[in-house]
Chain A
Amino acid sequence: MAVIEIRNLSKHFDRVHAVDGVDLAIPDGELAVILGPSGCGKTTLMRMIAGLEKPTSGTISIDGVDVTELPPRVRPIAMVFQSYALYPHMTVFNNIAFPLKAHGNLSKAVIKEKVEWAASILGIEKLLERKPRQLSGGERQRVALGRALVKEPKILLLDEPLSNLDAKLRASARDELQRFQRRLGITTIFVTHDQIEALGMGDRIIVMSQGKVMQIGTPQEVYHKSANTFVATFLGSPGMNLIKQEKYLLGFRPEQFVPQETAERKDDLQLFPFTVKRVEYLGAEQQVYGTVNGMNEENRIISSLSSETNVKIEPGQTYTFAVHKDQLRYFDPDSGLLVEPGQMGDLK
Chain B
Amino acid sequence: MENHATQNRKWSGRFRYWTDREDILSSLFLFPAVIYIVALVGVPFLIAVAFSFTDVTAGNTSLNFTGLDNFRAILKTPQFSQSLKNTISFTIISQIIIIILANILALVLSMDFKGKWFARFLIMLPWATPIALGTIGWLWLLDSKFSPIDWTFRYLHLLGEPDALLGDTKNLFYLGRLELAKASIILIYVWRMLPLSAVILMAGLTSIPQDLLDQADVDGAGFWRILFQIKLPLILPIMSIAVLFSIIFTVGDMAVVYVLTRGGPVYYTQVLPTWAYYKGIESGALAEGAATALFLFPVLLAVAIFVLRFSRRTEVT
Q: Tell me, yes or no, whether A and B come into direct contact in the complex with CB atoms closer than 8 A.
A: yes
CA A71 to CA B24, docked complex, whole Å: 14
Report chain B residues within 8 Å CB of A64.
Answer: 1, 5
What 1/0 mask marks residues of chain A from 42 to 74 whose CB sits below 8 Å from any chain B CB?
000000000000000000000111110111111
> Is B215 an interface residue, CB under 8 A from the partner?
no
Which size class do B's interface residues fall under? under 10
Contacts of B12 in A (CB 8 A): 69-70
Q: Check B17–A71 contact: CB distance below 8 A.
A: yes
**Which residues between 1 and 38 of chain B lie within 8 Å of chain A, taking CB atoms?**
1, 4-5, 8, 12, 17, 20
Nearest A residue to B19 via CB reads A71
Evaluate contact between A70 and B8: CB separation under 8 angstroms: yes
With CB as the reference atom, state the residue of chain A lying closest to B20: A71
Contacts of A72 in B (CB 8 A): 20
**A51 to B, closest residue via Cβ:** B20
B17 surroundings in chain A (CB, below 8 A): 70-71, 74
Number of A-B contacts (CB under 8 A): 21
How many angstroms between the C-alpha atoms of A71 and B21 in the bound complex? 9
A180, B20: Cα distance in complex, Å: 33
Q: Say how far B14's CB is from chain A's closest CB, in angstroms.
A: 10
Docked CA distance A65–B1 (Å):
8
When chains A and B are docked, how far (Å) is the Cα of A72 from the Cα of B17? Answer: 11
A63 touches B1 (CB 8 A): yes
- Given the complex, which residues of B lie within 8 Å of A73, measured CB to CB? 20
A63 to B1, CA, bound (A): 8
A52 → B minimal CB distance (Å): 11
Chain A residues, Cβ within 8 Å of B5? 64-66
Complex Cα spacing A69 to B17, Å: 10
Q: Please name all residues of chain B whose beta carbon is closer than 8 Å to the beta carbon of A70 when the two chains form the complex.
A: 8, 12, 17
Q: Chain A: which residue is nearest B17 at the CB level?
A: A71
List the B side residues contacting A71 at CB < 8 Å. Answer: 17, 20
Chain A residues near B8 (CB-CB < 8 A): 65-67, 70, 74
Bound Cα distance from A64 to B9, whole angstroms: 12
| Complex-state Cα separation, A66 to B12, whole angstroms | 11
Bound-state CA distance A235–B93 (Å) is 67
**Distance between B216 CB and nearest chain A CB, rounded to angstroms:** 33
Q: Which single residue of chain B is at the shortest CB-CB distance from A76? A: B4
Report the separation of the CA atoms of residues A65 and B8 in the bound assembly, to the nearest whole angstrom. Answer: 8
Closest Cβ–Cβ distance, residue A67 to chain B (whole Å): 8
Closest to A63 in B: B1
Give, as a whole number of angstroms, the nearest-CB distance from B20 to chain A. Answer: 4
Q: How far is the CB of B79 from chain A (nearest CB, A)?
A: 56
For A74, what are the chain B residues with a Cβ–Cβ distance below 8 Å? 8, 17
CA distance in complex: A69, B5 (Å):
13
CA distance A320 to B209 in the complex (A): 54
**In the bound complex, CA of A74 to CA of B17 (Å):** 10
Beta-carbon nearest neighbor of B5 in chain A: A65
A74 and B4 CA atoms in complex are apart in Å by: 11
Minimal Cβ-Cβ distance residue in B for A61: B5
Kindly report which residue of chain A lies nearest to residue B1, judged by CB atoms: A64
- Nearest residue, chain B, Cβ from A72: B20
Closest CB of chain A to B2's CB: distance in Å?
A: 9
The A63-94 residues at the B interface (CB cut-off 8 A) are: 63-67, 69-74
- In the complex, how many angstroms separate the beta carbon of B167 from the nearest chain A beta carbon? 66
Q: Hey, which chain B residues are within 8 Å of A63, CB to CB?
A: 1, 4
Across the interface, which residues of A come within 8 angstroms of B1, CB to CB? 63-65
Chain B residue at minimal CB-CB distance from A71: B20
CA distance A73 to B21 in the complex (A): 12
Q: With CB as the reference atom, state the residue of chain A lying closest to B6.
A: A65
Q: Which residue of B lies closest to A65 (CB)?
A: B5
Chain B residue contacts of A65, Cβ below 8 A: 1, 4-5, 8
Q: B31 → chain A, closest Cβ, in Å? A: 22
Question: Which residues does chain B contribute within 8 Å of A67, judged by CB atoms?
Answer: 8
A74 to chain B, nearest CB (A): 8
CB distance from B203 to the nearest CB of A (A): 25
Minimum CB–CB distance from B307 to chain A (whole Å) comes to 31
A64 to B4, CA, bound (A): 9
Residues 251-290 of B contacting A (Cβ, < 8 Å): none
Give A70 to B12 CA distance when docked, in angstroms.
Answer: 8
- Measured CB to CB, the closest approach of chain A to B62, in angstroms, equals 53
Return the chain B residue nearest A64 by Cβ. B1
Shortest Cβ gap from B27 to chain A (Å): 17
Task: Tell me how far the C-beta of A336 lies from the nearest C-beta in chain B, rounded to whole angstroms.
Answer: 39
Q: For the complex, what is the distance from the CA of A65 to the CA of B10, rounded to whole Å? A: 12
CA distance A200 to B12 in the complex (A): 40
Q: In the bound complex, what is the Cα–Cα distance between A91 and B203 (angstroms)?
A: 34
Complexed CA–CA distance, A125 and B20 (Å):
34
Residues of A within 8 A of B4 (CB): 63, 65
Contacts of B20 in A (CB 8 A): 71-73
In the complex, A165→B12 CA distance in Å?
40
Q: How far is the CA of A70 from the CA of B5 in the complex (A)?
A: 12
Q: How near does chain A come to B304, taking the closest CB pair, in angstroms? A: 30
Q: What's the least CB distance linking A273 to chain B, in Å?
A: 50
Known: A63-B1, A65-B1, A73-B20. 8 other contacts (CB 8 A): A63-B4, A64-B1, A64-B5, A65-B5, A70-B17, A71-B17, A71-B20, A72-B20
A-B contact pairs, 21 of them (CB 8 A): A63-B1, A63-B4, A64-B1, A64-B5, A65-B1, A65-B4, A65-B5, A65-B8, A66-B5, A66-B8, A67-B8, A69-B12, A70-B8, A70-B12, A70-B17, A71-B17, A71-B20, A72-B20, A73-B20, A74-B8, A74-B17
| Interface set of B (CB-CB < 8 Å, partner A) | 1, 4-5, 8, 12, 17, 20
Going nearest first, the 3 A-B pairs with the smallest beta carbon separation are A71-B20, A65-B5, A71-B17
